[in-house]
Structure 1
Amino acid sequence: MNPYGEPQSSRARARVPGSAGSTPDDDQPRSSYSGSARPSGSARPAPDAYRRGAGGRASVGNGTSGRASVGSASVGSASVGSASGRVGGSARVGGSARVGAAAPPPGRASVARAAVRPGTSGFGPADGPDDEGSFGGGRSVKGKDKSKAAKRRRRTNILTAAAAVIVILLGAGVVGGTYFFDDVDLPPLATEEQSNVILDSKGTVLAKLGDQNRTVVPEAKINKVVEHAVAAAEDKNFYKHHGIDMKGIVRAAWNNFTGGATQGASTITQQYARHAAELKEISINRKLREAVIARKLEGKYDKDQIMGMYLNYIYLGEGRYGIEAAAQGYFGKSVLTPAGQKNAVTPYEAAVLASIIKQPEPTDTHKGYDPNYNLTDAKDRWEYTMANMLEMGWISKEVYDKRAYPKVKPISKSSASKSTAGKPVGMVMRHVRAELAEMGISATEFDKGGLTVTTTIDPDVQKAAEEAGSRKSEDSPMNGKPATYQAAVIGIDPKTGRVLGYYAGDDPDGLDYGGYLSGNGKEITGGQSPGSTFKIYTLAAGLREDISFKTTWDGTKLRPNGTKISNAGADPGTVCKGKIKFCDLETATVKSYNFPFYWIADGIGRDKVITAARDAGIKHMYTDGNDQFPNGKLVDLTKTDKSTWEQKGYFDNEVAFGQYRVVPLEHAEGVATIVGNGVHHDAHFIKSVTKLDPETGKKTVVGGEKTEGKQVFDPDQMSNLQSVLKEIVRVDDRDLRNGQQSIAKSGTWEFKEGSGDTWFVGGMPQLAATVWVGGAKGKVELKESNGRDMFGAGTPSKVWKKFLDAVIKAKDLQNEDFPKRVETGNPDSPFANGQEPPPPPQNNNDGNNSGGDCVLGVIGPDCNQNNGGGNNNGGGENNGGDDNNGGDNNGGDDGGGDDGGGDQPGGGAPENTPETQLPTLNPTLQPEN
């Protein structure tokens, strides 16, 4: 027996699971119709839709003509008297049914030796050999057992079957009349749920989102051999009957009422009717209602339309709904490819698909007809289908004789292998949802399915981002770091704004460390302090105001409130090679000193620094925490201006060197603007969105990317800035593979006594890269493997180089150069505050140094810049190598001063801010469920 109660014959009638959540009707316990009847007079009332007359009891008598009431009366052990009743007439569907006996008084449901006269069924003409609705009268059955008990058993069986047929005939008659036929409404066509297919930029499936893997296709475009194969397997007389198979109904009734195999005897039209009306229970009432709907479907739609609805509905195993998903899944083909063309579904493949419908999934009692689970029975069922295709003339004898079972694609090792489930790239899906909403595609429309979304994700760049940033990757500089450490790696095409690679954590359902976008894609939940990497926007603002890199700045000048601006706690005599009072902006940028940037913001106005950041791509920025907003207030820079930014409690001049938290993805967009010669593109994850028109089969573009850029910074000024940022790559020894030119800026922000956020940003002309390393779920003091504090020029720069080198190799990129430097700006800008340098030293005639700037060749600003210190308190530019103890400012290009957050030596807030008042800049949200 199969799970639907039918004999496991390859030629048995097909059964198709209903919509999600429904139980196949033949899986249910038999109703009171298929067991013994209820005691006389205790018939169960039918549902309201069927209840008519007194008590809803079906009665057959021999009184005057009246209207028969069909309810849920039990038939089986009803009393049998001497009265005879008959059903006469030749009622047809759409006509008026006459029942030849009025109902007896309310009481027991009685059947009085009901004799069914030979005649037509009432479901259409019965004069053709192909008519499915005709059947003859009852016939006597003679058995070998002559005992009275045997005779009683045979008589009971005959009467039981006759009663079943009478009920069906009564139903048929009622169907033909206004009593029942008009009472059953034709349900609206089912709206089949489809999946949304998410592709990477190369067309590979990243995910199929939706409850069902289904693609609705127009019937008119479906290869006819597929339709014929389905008819051959499920209902070979589909094109001849009028929606109802009376022979099948009689066979099913006999089995159901005599305790045999429970059957449904449904045609393709009835199967679809059951699905459309969501008819699930097993009962004669259900069969009658199903028949009515089938007849009405046949009256409103032609056979091809009904076949199309059916093919888009059926389930074909392995999570595939509808014929298109099945063809793609089992053979990698589309049913829309016309017959005879390359990659069209063949008759043999069509027969495989059609044969699966009968039982798509394995059960405890039968393995079904999916060849990946049960090839033996699948082939047997396939032979049956092929034979019917030949019999019905849908294939030639030649095609039949050459038949060979086609090769089916094997089941993938894991359904997740073609999905983003549990994979880092899955984080992209929430950004996709957010962008769809921005395009005007609502959540409701998305949930309906049928969309194909092509993302910007390049598989090579995505792989490089994950392998560089994930602690789980053995090749990542993050490998071996504590579980409390987290990285984000974002790669953006500076020429288009496409996000080509996006690693924002290993758990796609957790916290989005790249965009801090909520799981529903509707809100930003956090950010990180960018430290000195934010200086690229301060420089862009300064260049706009005609400030030259040759301007000099005084590092000893105090703030207006009388506090000094510190630079990583370095001895003032070593800052800028001893030229702290007249330090040029270029050196200050490479060394990442804070004081010039503070005074740029003070001179041109911090609002102009924020404006430059906004123009580059920073859309949101957090204020410091306060009593009202303990974790800071998120400010939308696109909807506010100077009048807001300069209010008390918002942003001070420290914005110039990265005190205030931003979203890494938005920072990556801004970095791409600098890399892209000052042309801004909105960072985005979607290239195109198409939808298949179920009527025409054509794909319609319903959304797409906008790659037009906007020149927000002067290209000459950007070439000037890029040339300075090239030096940082050289100083940090981060030259890229094959000598590819690149620019970069490192940054660090403090936490407690060490580093809490570390960055390395920049890129090459082909790809902008942003790397952040910080705490997972909350701030932690970041350390390198040697126990020293981590800075941007340490692990983040290694991740950055690993990422870009991998992309260069995978894409076989040819070298590209940044534009040639054009020096811009006024070296004597009025905003600059550097003091006049002292006159050059004079030498004695004997050639001995009289003191000058390098006494005895040991002491003085003109001595070796790394004389025990440089800018590193005993480190030189890179004392400590890559870990920098670290490079430029007492522990790195960013150690503790400019990037340590504020200006207090060793990190901390500006000196006028007590340590106890420091805002807690932790992202407060836990990973989302």
Structure 2
Amino acid sequence: MNPYGEPQSSRARARVPGPGNSAPDDDQSSYRPAPDAYRRGAGGRASVGSAPAGSASVGSASVGSARVGARASVGAAAPVRGTGPVARAAVRPGPPARTPDDEGSIGGGGRSGGGKDKSKAAKRRRRTNILTAAAAVLVIMLGAGVVGGTYFFDDVDLPSPVSEDQSNVILDTKGAVLAKLGEQNRTVVPEAQINKVVEHAVAAAEDKNFYKHHGIDMKGIVRAAWNNFTGGDQQGASTITQQYARHAADLKDISYNRKLREAVIARKMEGKYNKDQIMGMYLNYIYLGRGLYGIQAAAQGYFGKSVTTKAGQKNAITPYEAAVLASIIKQPEPTATHKGYDPTINPTDAKARWEYTMANMLEMGWISQDVYNKRKYPTVKKAAKSSATKGVDGKPVGMIMRHVRAELAEMGISEQEFDKGGLTVTTTIDPVVQKAAEEAGSRKSESSPMNDKPATYQAAVIGIDPKTGRVLGYYGGDDPTGIDYGGYMRGDTLKIDGGQSPGSTFKIYTLAAALREDISFKTRWDGTKLRPNGTKISNAGADPGTVCKGQIKRCDLETATIKSYNFPFYWIADGIGRDKVIAAARDAGVGHMYTDDGKLVDLNKTDKETWTKKGYFDNEVAFGQYRVVPLEHAEGVATIVGGGVHHDAHFIRSVSRVDPDTGQKSIVGSEKIDGKEVFNPDQMSNLQSVMKEIVEVDDRDLRNGQEGIAKSGTWEFKEGSGDTWFVGGMPQLAATVWVGGAKNKVELKEANGRDMFGAGTPSRIWKKFLDAVIKAKDLEREDFPRRVETGNPDSSFANGQAAPPPPQNQPDNNNDGCVLDFICGPDGNNGNNGGGNNGGGNNGGGNNNGGGDPDDGDNPDDGGGNPEDGTNPDNGNNPVPPASPGQTGEPENDGD
């Protein structure tokens, strides 16, 4: 039995597992770390020394100078070890302390001002101190005999209030909780805002004389001492003030000496803080099971309510619910000897404990007889599957937390501040777009085009608002602790550690650079011209006579873009300078690019001088040879979709913190959505119009007639495809899709066994993603700007022959059996032209436009199943020609 007359288990009082919390009352047997999504390294606590039995003094070390994170030691030469960064949102000293003669009312803990001690009050305080010392001597005599009482009282200093660790709440853009991250699932609330019925219930359960005593219960101490002396179980005899004193001073050892120190600290604490302040500190500290720390987290976890809602208002905590919470404090979780007082685990004992608490509330006048008579045990929520961390374990959305933490650091919110907790982070994630991204890209989704693919295949799907840069949906893999296939951000360092070759999707930046240089889509280019080292620029292994419908020496840039021929792009980079292509990509949002030997280059911190050095980037950059980060590529795509206005892609809208003293919320970080025009809007309308034709060619028209623009791309691996892409979007949402190997590169195949290309599975994921968003949000059709044709058709950079003169007398249809001229090419092969740009080869399978797979959505010119689809000697089976200086010899074409 404890001093308040009810049975007490070995885990009595608030169980506070995890680093930085005291063990249960006189019990360390059940220590366990708190659940945590991002666990910090365990920090040391200051040791609390115990002087040897019979020594004359305890030493000069004080408790008072310690703050959270470096507990002061009590005892001679006790080492102080820092705990590392923890939250500082403590309940700080507030109003002046209660005067010693203010016993507190039965009705409860009213706030009172301080003042000078009156003579009578001073005598009462001295008498209490003497009683404390006398009790100390009694305990010493019964225990081991440590020190003299009065000297001990004067020597022990008062610790500072503890700043409790809190969780950080991560919300989606609609305000729903995505995750709770931090050392402990706690929300510190100012005592002044806590519903009084909660405070009274806790006092009734744990210390019904809390408002009357001066920190210690003399009768309880004597009763506990006598019980221990006569052979009974060691008892805590701890008041609420003592429980908090133990926590604040980090007193963990099981000894009479500790109990004495605890009592002395509690007595001194009552002399400095009033009852409301002590209650507030205690309520923000206690552990109530289920990974819930503090009364606010407990109220939300057990009842879905807030303790700050005033009595009488909707969803306010009732006296019956408050009594349930208070009754749990005694033993929140089961042990080997007792099941604890969580009503969902041990309903019988929980209700008995609740009855005890309700009876004390009535006895002390904190509830009326009518309320007591109408008492009914309330319904308690079942425990969530995850306690300290909500929502992210094992779910794709967990990957977003890496980017949240990285952006917090960019906002100036350090890791230490994050670990303090108490932050509310509102992200840019739209739940509708997020769901669509996951269902389109995850192999686990039955409706995803990835569902029938091997486990060695992986997709990434990224949706960005082109008007703001907000990342609305982000799928970077199913394992939030694994590889981030969207951003290649490491979970431990938050640094970039990978990327993928974008293939022909990178041509959108080459075109943006060309348009800047006044190059028109009507310019003509020579596909037979050799590189300076004498090697040819291959175009999917197609017969030169079939490229650009037989006009290989005068192929216009618009056709070359739609068919994804490489030669114009190589010569654009050669003519205007490859550094201008790279600059256009950087301006759009591509911040990093890898060299062939794996060197990561920060494009925002380097320039032409670096980019054109030997061993960095050659003209092949114009069609996507060099690896980039998908998320950064998605940012660049959003710039093109947005008409040339660049916005930084970001995951955080705002960050706020609640002041623990005032309860006021303040914004400590916010997004910047002001865009910067990096490309001329007329030039972008020109580019967008060409990209609209690619959507039509690939048969990827969007739901409800919504206009879309796109570019496909593929980069080779061994004899097939290693990276496949489909990028673009609609005015309301930019979408980037990548499909490649999980962990390691693999040769990607479609279900029919043919090579995968950007116009295949990636384009189907892209369409499913956007169509799902259109449907779920019921989006109205929005068109891209009307095309403005820009540039000089006779640009000096173009190297093709002039357009042939129009025929004077066009004969009637007589093209070897063709029905209509516009269906047939000049060679009468019904538009297939020998495989067009789809041949499946290009020096090892590089730039194949569909490989003739009807499911790839390619138009007739993109392979069409002709024999040239990767089967003739020129289609990928010839040795790769020697690489020019700085080249790798990889194929120039990407296999759209």
Q: Do they superpose with TM above 0.5?
A: yes
Question: Counterpart of 1:911?
Answer: 881
Deviation of residue 230 (structure 1)? Answer: 0.8
The answer to whether the Cα contact below 8 Å between 2:180 and 2:388 also exists between their aligned partners in 1 is no
TM-score normalised according to structure 1 size = 0.79
1:377-410 CA distances to partner (integer Å, 9 max, x unpaired)?
A: 2222222222222222222233223322222222
Q: 2:15 aligns with which of 14, 17, 21?
A: 17
- Mapped pair 1:528 → 2:531: no
After TM superposition, which residue ranges in structure 1, 4 or more long, deviate above 6 angstroms? Answer: 4-8, 10-13, 131-135, 168-173, 844-855, 874-878, 907-910, 914-917
Report if the CA contact (8 A) 2:157-2:265 is conserved.
Answer: yes
Aligned-residue offset at 1:888? 5.0
Q: CA RMSD in A?
A: 3.9
Matched, 1:651 2:617: yes
Cα deviation, 1:506-537, whole Å, max 9, x if unaligned, reads 11111111111111243211110000000000
2:443 is the counterpart of 1:471? yes
2:546–2:834 contact (8 Å) kept in structure 1? no
Decide whether the 8 Å contact of 1:880 with 1:886 is kept in 2.
no
> How far is 1:188 from its partner?
2.4
The residue correspondences of 1:605-616 to structure 2 (distance < 5 A) are 605-616=577-588
Q: Which residue of the other structure, out of 718, 736, 752, is the alignment partner of 2:702? A: 736
Which of 865-874 and 265-274 deviates more? 865-874
1:329 matched to 2:301? The reply is: yes
State the alpha-carbon separation in 1 of the partners of residues 849 and 126 from structure 2.
105
Residue 418 of structure 2 is aligned to residue 408 of structure 1: no
Structure 2 residue aligned with 1:75? none
AA of the residue aligned to 1:835: Q
> Counterpart of 1:557 in 2: which secondary structure?
coil
Give the structure 1 partner of residue 113 of structure 2: none
| 872, 881, 906: which one aligns with 2:854 | 881
State the Cα distance separating 1:611 from its structure 2 match. 0.7
Aligned length in residues? 800
Aligned equivalents of 1:275, 1:870: Cα separation in 2: 76
Cα offset, 1:869, TM superposition: 4.1
Rounded Cα–Cα distance in structure 2 between residues aligned with 1:622 and 1:378 = 62
Give the structure 1 partner of residue 767 of structure 2. Answer: 801
Residue 503 of structure 1 is matched in structure 2 by 475
Measure, in 2, the Cα distance between the counterparts of 1:339 and 1:8: 29
For 2:365 and 2:600, the matched residues in 1 are separated by 71
From the superposition, tell whether residues 878 and 294 of structure 1 become closer, same or farther in structure 2 (CA, over 3 Å).
Answer: same
Match of 2:661 among 672, 681, 695: 695
2:58 and 2:734 mapped to 1: Cα distance? 78
Q: Do residues 482 (structure 1) and 454 (structure 2) align?
A: yes
SS in structure 2 at match of 1:640? coil
Gaps of 5+ in 1: 30-45, 57-69, 72-92, 95-121, 138-160, 626-631, 898-903, 922-929
Q: For 1:238-286, what per-residue CA distance to the aligned partner results, in whole angstroms no more than 9, with x for missing partners?
A: 1111001011111111111112132110000000011111112222211
Q: Any idea what SS the aligned residue of 2:473 has?
A: strand
Confirm or deny: 8 A CA contact 1:565 1:594 kept in the other structure: yes
Q: State how far apart, in whole Å, the 2-side matches of 1:849 and 1:516 are.
A: 53
Q: Which one of 453, 465, 477 corresponds to residue 493 of structure 1?
A: 465
What does 1:748-827 align with in structure 2 at a 5 Å threshold?
Answer: 748-827=714-793
Aligned to 1:518: 490
Aligned to 1:193: 165
Which residue, out of 243, 255, 261, partners 2:233?
Answer: 261
Q: TM-score, normalised by structure 2?
A: 0.82
3-state SS, counterpart of residue 786 of structure 1: coil
| Unaligned ranges ≥5, structure 2 | 30-48, 60-74, 77-98, 101-120, 841-847, 892-896
Query: Which amino acid in structure 1 is aligned with residue 13 of structure 2?
Result: R
Q: Distance in 2 between matches of 1:706 and 1:11?
A: 55
Aligned to 1:708: 674
How much does 1:15 deviate?
1.5
CA contact (8 A) 1:13 1:265 kept: no
Q: What's the counterpart of residue 517 of structure 2?
A: 545
1:119 is matched with which residue?
Answer: none
Distance in 2, matches of 1:530 and 1:879, equals 22
SS at match of 2:155: coil
Q: Is 1:633 aligned to 2:599, yes or no?
A: yes
Q: Secondary structure at the match of 2:724?
A: strand
Counterpart of 1:924 in structure 2 is none
Q: Is the 8 A contact 2:430 2:473 kept in 1?
A: yes
Q: Where does residue 415 of structure 2 map in the other structure?
A: 443
Alignment of 1:57-76 (within 5 A): none
Residue of structure 2 equivalent to 1:597: 569
Structure 1 residues 891 and 299, CA gap change in structure 2 (3 angstroms): farther
The answer to whether the 8 A contact 2:15-2:288 is kept is no
**Identity of aligned pairs, percent?**
75
Cα 1:729–1:697 shift into 2, 3 Å:
same
After superposition, the Cα gap between the structure-2 partners of 1:671 and 1:463, relative to the gap in structure 1 and judged at 3 Å, is same
User: Using the alignment, how far apart are the partners of 1:877 and 1:774 within structure 2?
Assistant: 16
1:848 and 1:790 map into 2 onto residues whose CA distance is 37
Identify the match of residue 287 of structure 2 among 315, 318, 324.
315
Paired amino acid for 2:297: A
AA at the equivalent of 1:650: Y
Shift of 1:429: 1.1
Q: Residue 12 and residue 319 in structure 1: after superposition, are their counterparts in 2 closer, same or farther (change >3 A)? A: closer
**Offset of residue 342 of structure 1:** 2.2
In structure 2, the residue corresponding to 1:180 is in which secondary structure? Answer: helix
- Amino acid in the other structure paired with 1:300: K
Q: How does 1:102-121 map to 2 (within 5 A)?
A: none
Q: Which residue of 2 aligns with 1:52?
A: 55
Residues 1:723 and 2:697 are matched in the alignment: no
Offset, 1:298: 0.8
The Cα offsets for residues 48-68 of structure 1, whole Å up to 9 and x where unpaired, read as: 388633999xxxxxxxxxxxx
Secondary structure at the aligned position of 1:233 is classed as: helix
Matched, 1:624 2:596: yes
- Any conservation in 2 of the 1:214–1:325 contact (CA below 8 Å)? yes
- Distance in 1 of aligned mates of 2:140 and 2:814: 129
Structure with larger Rg: 1
2:401 and 2:590 map into 1 onto residues whose CA distance is: 22
| Deviation for aligned residue 1:735 | 0.9
Quick one: structure 1 residues 488 and 560, their matched pair in 2 at CA, closer, same or farther if it must change by over 3 Å? same
Mapping of residues 356-371 of structure 1, within 5 Å:
356-371=328-343
What is the identity, as a one-letter code, of the residue corresponding to 2:563? K
- Residue 794 of structure 2 is aligned to residue 828 of structure 1: yes
The answer to whether 1:681 aligns with 2:647 is yes
Instruction: Note the C-alpha offset of 1:549.
Output: 1.1
Matched, 1:224 2:227: no
Q: CA deviation at 1:418?
A: 3.3
Query: SS at the partner of 1:198?
Result: strand
1:560 corresponds in structure 2 to 532
Distance in 1 (CA, whole Å) between partners of 2:540 and 2:11 is 82
Q: In the aligned structure 2, how far is the partner of 1:612 from the partner of 1:23? A: 60
Q: Distance in 2 between matches of 1:756 and 1:13?
A: 59
2:835 and 2:864 in contact (8 A); partners too: no
Counterpart contact for 1:555–1:581, Cα < 8 Å: yes
Alignment check: 8 A CA contact 2:852 2:869 kept: no
Shift of 1:870: 4.5
Residue in structure 2 matching 1:419, options 391, 397, 404: 391
Contact kept, 8 Å, 2:756 with 2:850, in 1: the verdict is: no
Q: CA deviation at 1:133?
A: 10
What displacement does 1:295 show? 0.9
Question: Aligned match of 2:327 in 355, 359, 367?
Answer: 355
1:62 corresponding residue in structure 2: none
Per-residue displacement from partner, 1:801-843 (whole Å, max 9, x unpaired)? 1111111222222221111111111112221122023334454
- Whole-Å Cα distance in 2 between the matches of residues 916 and 617 of structure 1? 25
